[in-house]
Chains A and B, each alone.
Chain A
Amino acid sequence: MTLEDLREMAEKEKARQQERKNRIMYCSAAGCNSCGADATKAALAKSLKENGLEGNCEVLGTGCMGLCGEGPLVKLQSDETLYQRVDEAAAKRIVDEHIGRGTKVKENLVDTSAPFFASQQKIVLENCGKINAESIEEYVAVGGYDALAKALTELQPIEVIEEIRKSGLRGRGGAGYPTGLKWGIVHKAKSEQKYVICNADEGDPGAFMDRSVLEGDPHRILEGMAIAGYAIGANQGFIYIRAEYPLAIERLKLAIKQAERLGLLGNRIFESQFNFRIDLRIGAGAFVCGEETALLRSIEGRRGRPRPRPPYPSEKGLWGMPTLINNVETYANIAPIIVRGSAWFASIGTPKSAGTKVFALAGNIKNTGLIEVPMGIPLRKVIFDIGGGTLDGTEFKAAQTGGPSGGCIPKEYLDLPVDYESLATVGSIMGSGGMIVMDSTSNMVEVAKYFMEFCKDESCGKCIPCRVGTVHIHGLLDKISKGKATKDDLALLEELCAMVMKTSLCGLGQNAPNPVISTLRYFHKEYEQVLTEPVIFVSSANGKGESTHS
């Protein structure tokens, strides 16, 4: 494949799409799939046939359209109409009335000028919900693989790295390490063999950003990884993905096959000297494998247990070779930066945190789903404008970011800008992008206990502070929530948290006390209240006060 071939393919696909009178897109991501997208698709196709429209309309499955709580979603490309809760009857009406007679189906119409859509800015998700996730042609038609072509034909590896560095892109896995800097280190490492790894082990409960990107726009990740491989001098990439995401795995497998067939992966890509292969590695359900050294072990086929750093994977990684590990969302940002330039990317967001961030909004909030906002946007805007506020208008209590490694942000900080530094100052972290909204029905002691139970179960057991500490913290929280604890227990809890944080080996242990510390910091009263209660504490209506399984 040459650059001309790529352009020709894009033109051909655009012409093919234009021949169609209408393209009906249905969201085929996991969220809509689980509320009947398949039946919707079948109903759409059937109605088209009945109306004799199947020749000039096509039905295609796209990635996540964002409004996951209101699925199945259907979009008509001709006038960008978005429909929600499209069951079989609604699908028939859309074809009959909207496509057939040109009148919109009011009952299912989504107002796309609402803040949920208008306040977002899409870079990572720009193709999600717009292209057929299983077609490489459609990806190429929207400018896909242009960035790889540009990098390979116009730029030296060092220039690619410089471009990424100037863009100010930081690791989207949560820690926010400057991506260009990391690439530079691996580039400089001297070795015959280097590796590129995409960390798609999205283990944080309540986070589904990476899954949506992989399901909706898999080629974007492959392209980003190939550019990274070129920049650092690697010829082999691995995507480490959770076994819990079967659809994403299937789409990635298909995407890799398509790219290999067209020579966009493999040997002598775009007739350059650059060779690059990507293989999938399926995880097996261990949260700790999101930690980079544990992830490396797991790819090597061993127990996913972390090791001390340094040496960092950028010096000694997979099988002892220099290895670049980035998150899915980081790779998704690469192609736009190469095509549109670092200055464009740096102009979005804040000076220290450039670009956008994808969040998975969930919990007690009206609009659950996937959103992408520029960095630095106030939290209030995310929760109340985009998210539409809490369910049933109950009082907002806290937003939890960063999963079991993050913290709760109380309502005092609603005007806080969402960027790496600001979130850290209030004791939370950006994390990978899960944002769970809690209202007045949530009991914060129970929330802390929930996260600690998670960390206790997921601790790999290698270092003692994490293995033993998490068990004891959980035990204390259990005691507190049952109203059997004294003030001394509370003091012990604080002491233990500090100890686990300071002495654990890896990020899992070091961050495990975060949810406890942040709830202690902002909701100390809730802990104290339970101390003085002489009777067994029972929490909110939905039974969260019960102690849970082991």
Chain B
Amino acid sequence: MSQQPTTVKAGHPSGDNRFKLLDRAITKNHSRGDALIEVLHAAQGIFGFLENDLMVYISRSLKLPLSTVFGVATFYHFFRLKPKGEHTFVLCMGTACYVKGAAGIQKSVEEHCKCKLGETTSDNKISLIQARCVGSCGLAPVAVLDDNVAGKLTPENAVQRIKQWQLATEEVAA
């Protein structure tokens, strides 16, 4: 560690400019170890997910053991260690959505995408994610599709929405 006293200023050896953005977030938090969660939020925002290399970089910058960084990153559901698909389908499994039939939607989208909630389709197009409650209980059942909340879903129109994504990407490819 002693050879790298100025990790923050040196950036990343790969020369990836995104690390400069991350460095800015780290400096803003005064490289304090207790800002680890804020820094991880920033890192995920910049890189999309937390790669091993990224966590090593953060642990050095904040002078924390890698085990601590990895421990925190895996403890919280919000942090992803794998890249997510092009589109995300976040299905709310809160009580209100559950009572109104979220399980049926889950079944239909899982069947359609041929992967379970929490996984990404084999072509890396769509990630199915489950949320505990997005707080739009008045519109239950709800899903968040690429950051847009869609309410009053049915198993049919949920699959329809996913099909639209798939069609759009096929058109682009063609």
Contact = CB atoms under 8 A, between A and B. Distances in A.
A244 B134 contact: yes
Given A68-B138, A368-B137, A543 B103 contact: yes
A282 B78 CA distance: 11
A212 to B, nearest CB: 8
A34 B76 contact: no
Nearest to A549: B117
Nearest to A207: B133
Given A206-B133, A287-B132, A543-B107, A281 B37 contact: yes
Contacts of A33: 149
Contact of B34 (A301, A360, A451): A301
Nearest to B104: A543
Interface string B136-174: 111110100000111100000000000000000000000
B107 A360 contact: no
B60 to A, nearest CB: 16
Interface string B47-58: 000000000000
B138 A202 contact: no
Nearest to B96: A362
A431 to B, nearest CB: 11
Contacts of B95: 205-206, 362-363, 400, 403, 434, 436, 450-451
A211 B99 CA distance: 21
B137 A208 contact: yes
A30 B36 contact: no
Interface in A31-45: 31, 33-35
A362 B34 CA distance: 38
B33 interface: yes
Interface in A201-220: 202-208, 211
A542 B36 contact: no
A296 to B, nearest CB: 11
Contact of A245 (B117, B135, B150, B151): B135
B113 to A, nearest CB: 13
Interface string B63-76: 00000100110011
B38 interface: yes
Nearest to B135: A208
A460 B71 CA distance: 12
A544 interface: yes
Given A284-B40, A284-B78, A362-B140, A301 B133 contact: no
Nearest to B76: A284
A8 interface: no
Contacts of B96: 205-206, 362-363, 368, 436
A442 B103 CA distance: 13
A301 B78 CA distance: 14
Given A69-B138, A208-B136, A360-B137, A34 B37 contact: no
Given A205-B132, A302-B72, A304-B76, A282 B38 contact: yes
Interface string A438-460: 10001000010011001000101
Given A363-B100, A450-B98, A202 B132 contact: no
B22 interface: no
Contact of B148 (A34, A206, A299): A34
- Interface hub of B32, B101, B116, B138 (most chain A Cβ within 10 A): B138
Nearest to B72: A303
B71 A303 contact: yes
A298 interface: yes
A281 B40 CA distance: 12
B17 to A, nearest CB: 25
A364 B99 contact: yes
A299 B95 CA distance: 27
Given A205-B133, A243-B78, A286-B77, A34 B150 contact: yes
A284 B37 contact: yes
A116 to B, nearest CB: 13
Contact of A34 (B106, B116, B151): B151
Contacts of B134: 30, 244
B78 A285 contact: yes
A34 B77 contact: no
Contacts of A298: 37
A71 interface: yes
A473 B130 CA distance: 22
Interface string A230-250: 000000000000011100000
Contacts of B24: none
Contact of A286 (B76, B100, B107): B76
B41 interface: yes
A368 to B, nearest CB: 4
A395 interface: no
A329 to B, nearest CB: 15
Contacts of B150: 34
A300 interface: yes
A362 B132 contact: no
A355 interface: no
Nearest to A454: B132
Nearest to B142: A34
A159 interface: no
A548 interface: yes
Contacts of B131: 244
Nearest to B75: A303
6 contacts: A243-B78, A301-B32, A303-B75, A362-B99, A544-B104, A549-B117
The 6 closest A-B pairs by CB, nearest first: A68-B138, A34-B149, A542-B101, A284-B76, A205-B94, A362-B96
Given A244-B134, A300-B34, 7 more contacts: A205-B93, A205-B95, A206-B94, A284-B37, A301-B35, A301-B38, A304-B76
